[in-house]
Amino acid sequence: MEPIAERPPLGRLSHAILSGVAVLVTSLSIAICAAAPEFIWQGLRVTLGHPHWIDLVGALLIGLNLVFFIEPAMKRNRCYEAT
């Protein structure tokens, strides 16, 4: 790998852009993981305080989203990282 100073300007720009995108994705994932327990706790408090069938439907939709979209994407990502 060439040192950054010896790369052409376009190579340095693309490296900087990719580094910036990586930082944004990492920051977003950390923020989501940090906020998730609070969302779960607040949702549990609201649901137990005012149970309604719409809350159950919302929880089922979120669960379906996790099962059919997020988990396969994470599995594909793990396979991609392994190669």
Domain map (residue ranges) of the chain: 1-49, 52-83
Q: What DSSP designation does 83 have?
A: -
| CA-based max dimension of the chain | 63
The tokens of 15 are what?
């490296």
**Per-residue pLDDT averaged across 42-61, rounded?**
79
pLDDT score, position 4? 58
Under DSSP, is residue 33 helix (H, G, I), strand (E, B) or coil?
helix
* pLDDT, greater one: 27 or 55: 27
What band does 82 get if pLDDT is binned at 50, 70 and 90?
low
Q: Are 25 and 14 in contact (CB under 8 A)?
A: no
**Model-level pTM?**
0.41
d(CA 30, CA 78) in angstroms, rounded, equals: 18
pLDDT score, position 2? 53
The tokens of 8 are what?
């052409």
Summarised one tens digit per residue, pLDDT across range 25-39 is 888 888 877 877 777
